[in-house]
Protein backbone atom coordinates (compact mmCIF):
# COMPACT_ATOMS: atom_id res chain seq x y z
CA UNK A 1 0.00 0.00 0.00
CA UNK A 2 3.01 2.30 0.07
CA UNK A 3 3.29 4.75 -2.79
CA UNK A 4 2.09 8.11 -4.02
CA UNK A 5 -1.54 8.51 -5.07
CA UNK A 6 -3.33 11.35 -6.82
CA UNK A 7 -6.90 11.80 -5.60
CA UNK A 8 -9.10 14.14 -7.60
CA UNK A 9 -12.16 13.92 -5.34
CA UNK A 10 -13.30 13.08 -1.83
CA UNK A 11 -14.62 9.78 -3.20
CA UNK A 12 -11.17 8.85 -4.50
CA UNK A 13 -9.62 9.80 -1.15
CA UNK A 14 -12.22 7.68 0.66
CA UNK A 15 -11.48 4.71 -1.60
CA UNK A 16 -7.74 5.07 -0.95
CA UNK A 17 -8.38 5.23 2.81
CA UNK A 18 -10.47 2.06 2.65
CA UNK A 19 -7.72 0.22 0.76
CA UNK A 20 -5.21 1.50 3.29
CA UNK A 21 -7.41 0.21 6.14
CA UNK A 22 -6.86 -3.32 4.85
CA UNK A 23 -3.14 -3.02 5.62
CA UNK A 24 -3.65 -2.07 9.27
CA UNK A 25 -3.09 -4.44 12.18
CA UNK A 26 -3.87 -4.00 15.86
CA UNK A 27 -1.43 -1.56 17.42
CA UNK A 28 -0.56 0.13 14.12
CA UNK A 29 0.69 3.70 14.28
CA UNK A 30 -0.22 6.05 11.43
CA UNK A 31 1.31 9.52 11.30
CA UNK A 32 -0.46 12.12 9.18
CA UNK A 33 1.19 15.31 7.95
CA UNK A 34 -0.06 18.13 5.75
CA UNK A 35 -1.41 21.65 5.80
CA UNK A 36 -4.75 22.68 7.27
CA UNK A 37 -7.51 21.36 5.04
CA UNK A 38 -5.26 18.84 3.31
CA UNK A 39 -7.55 15.92 4.16
CA UNK A 40 -5.98 14.33 7.23
CA UNK A 41 -9.17 14.10 9.29
CA UNK A 42 -11.22 13.10 6.24
CA UNK A 43 -8.81 10.21 5.64
CA UNK A 44 -9.10 9.06 9.28
CA UNK A 45 -12.89 9.41 9.09
CA UNK A 46 -12.93 7.22 5.97
CA UNK A 47 -10.84 4.51 7.64
CA UNK A 48 -13.07 4.65 10.73
CA UNK A 49 -16.22 4.40 8.61
CA UNK A 50 -14.72 1.33 6.96
CA UNK A 51 -14.25 -0.16 10.46
CA UNK A 52 -17.92 0.51 11.34
CA UNK A 53 -17.28 3.69 13.31
CA UNK A 54 -19.90 6.05 11.88
CA UNK A 55 -19.04 9.33 13.58
CA UNK A 56 -15.69 10.88 14.29
CA UNK A 57 -14.61 14.45 14.89
CA UNK A 58 -11.32 16.27 14.68
CA UNK A 59 -9.39 16.03 17.94
CA UNK A 60 -7.92 19.52 17.46
CA UNK A 61 -9.46 20.77 20.71
CA UNK A 62 -9.83 17.56 22.71
CA UNK A 63 -6.35 16.40 21.56
CA UNK A 64 -7.32 12.71 21.87
CA UNK A 65 -10.51 11.01 20.67
CA UNK A 66 -11.23 7.32 21.21
CA UNK A 67 -13.52 5.33 18.93
CA UNK A 68 -14.77 1.74 19.03
CA UNK A 69 -15.99 -0.36 16.13
CA UNK A 70 -14.46 -3.37 14.43
CA UNK A 71 -11.21 -2.11 16.02
CA UNK A 72 -10.46 0.45 18.69
CA UNK A 73 -9.07 3.65 17.19
CA UNK A 74 -7.10 6.33 19.02
CA UNK A 75 -7.13 9.63 17.12
CA UNK A 76 -4.59 12.18 18.33
CA UNK A 77 -3.91 15.71 17.12
CA UNK A 78 -0.63 17.47 17.94
CA UNK A 79 -1.77 20.82 16.49
CA UNK A 80 -2.33 22.49 19.88
CA UNK A 81 0.62 20.82 21.64
CA UNK A 82 3.39 23.35 22.15
CA UNK A 83 6.02 21.23 23.87
CA UNK A 84 6.81 17.53 23.89
CA UNK A 85 6.50 17.54 27.70
CA UNK A 86 2.75 18.16 27.29
CA UNK A 87 2.39 14.61 25.98
CA UNK A 88 3.05 13.01 29.37
CA UNK A 89 0.01 14.28 31.32
CA UNK A 90 -2.40 13.34 28.51
CA UNK A 91 -1.18 9.73 28.60
CA UNK A 92 0.18 9.78 25.07
CA UNK A 93 2.85 7.15 25.70
CA UNK A 94 0.28 4.79 27.25
CA UNK A 95 -1.79 5.01 24.08
CA UNK A 96 1.27 4.16 21.98
CA UNK A 97 1.58 0.86 23.83
CA UNK A 98 -2.03 -0.30 23.66
CA UNK A 99 -3.59 -2.46 20.94
CA UNK A 100 -5.66 0.29 19.33
CA UNK A 101 -4.86 1.59 15.87
CA UNK A 102 -3.36 5.05 16.36
CA UNK A 103 -3.80 7.98 13.97
CA UNK A 104 -1.70 11.02 14.86
CA UNK A 105 -2.31 14.26 12.98
CA UNK A 106 0.40 16.92 12.76
CA UNK A 107 2.95 14.25 13.73
CA UNK A 108 5.72 16.25 12.07
CA UNK A 109 5.62 18.65 15.05
CA UNK A 110 7.51 16.08 17.15
CA UNK A 111 9.27 13.77 14.69
CA UNK A 112 11.78 12.37 17.18
CA UNK A 113 9.11 10.42 19.06
CA UNK A 114 8.71 7.80 16.34
CA UNK A 115 11.70 5.62 15.53
CA UNK A 116 10.23 2.62 13.74
CA UNK A 117 7.16 0.56 12.89
CA UNK A 118 4.84 3.29 11.66
CA UNK A 119 3.11 4.52 8.54
CA UNK A 120 3.74 8.09 7.45
CA UNK A 121 1.10 9.68 5.24
CA UNK A 122 1.81 13.08 3.69
CA UNK A 123 -1.03 15.11 2.18
CA UNK A 124 -0.37 17.82 -0.37
CA UNK A 125 -3.07 19.96 -1.97
CA UNK A 126 -2.46 20.71 -5.64
CA UNK A 127 -3.54 23.86 -7.48
CA UNK A 128 -6.18 21.89 -9.41
CA UNK A 129 -7.96 20.86 -6.14
CA UNK A 130 -6.55 17.34 -6.32
CA UNK A 131 -4.56 15.83 -3.46
CA UNK A 132 -1.28 14.02 -3.62
CA UNK A 133 -1.15 11.43 -0.85
CA UNK A 134 2.14 9.66 -0.16
CA UNK A 135 2.15 6.60 2.08
CA UNK A 136 5.42 5.23 3.46
CA UNK A 137 6.17 2.57 6.04
CA UNK A 138 9.17 2.74 8.37
CA UNK A 139 10.33 -0.50 9.96
- The per-residue pLDDT for range 11-65, each reduced to its tens digit, is 999 999 999 999 999 999 999 999 998 999 999 999 999 999 998 988 877 899 9
Contact 33, 121 (CB under 8 A): yes
pTM higher than 0.75: yes
Contact 103, 73 (CB under 8 A): yes
Q: What percent of the chain has pLDDT over 90?
A: 86
For range 75-101, the mean pLDDT:
93
Domain 3-138 -> CATH class: alpha beta
pLDDT value at 104 more than 90: yes
Amino acid sequence: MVGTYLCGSEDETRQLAEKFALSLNLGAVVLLCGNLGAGKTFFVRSVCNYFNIPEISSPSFSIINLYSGKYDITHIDFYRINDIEELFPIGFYDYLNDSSIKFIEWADMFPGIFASNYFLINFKNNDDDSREITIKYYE
